[in-house]
Amino acid sequence: MIQVLEPVHSDLLKAILIKKEEMIQLGMRYGLVNHRTIECSQQLDSLLNQYKNGELH
């Protein structure tokens, strides 16, 4: 069975993937304990929590 995602849900998943890639790039460029990487990681955590909790902002 194919699951059809609502557009907003799909946008959240896309945002998660983009933020994850951004965090990886920041970590490789500046290191894992750099404030840029940590801030991006916190933003990713927020997106993941929204997804887990079913929040579709």
Q: What is the pLDDT of residues 7-44, one digit of tens each?
A: 567 899 999 999 999 999 999 999 999 999 999 999 99
pTM (2 d.p.): 0.80
Q: Where does the pLDDT of residue 57 fall: very low under 50, low under 70, confident under 90, or very high at 90 and above? A: low
In order of start, what are the domains of the chain with their CATH numbers? 8-53 (4.10.280.10)
Q: Are 13 and 50 in contact (CB under 8 A)?
A: no
Instruction: Record the tokens describing residue 36, joined without a space.
Output: 């840029």
In this predicted structure, the answer to whether residue 55 has a pLDDT above a threshold of 90 is no
Q: Looking at residue 46, what is its pLDDT?
A: 97
Query: Would you say the C-alpha torsion 4, 47, 51, 17 has a positive or negative sign?
Result: positive
Mean pLDDT of 50-56: 83
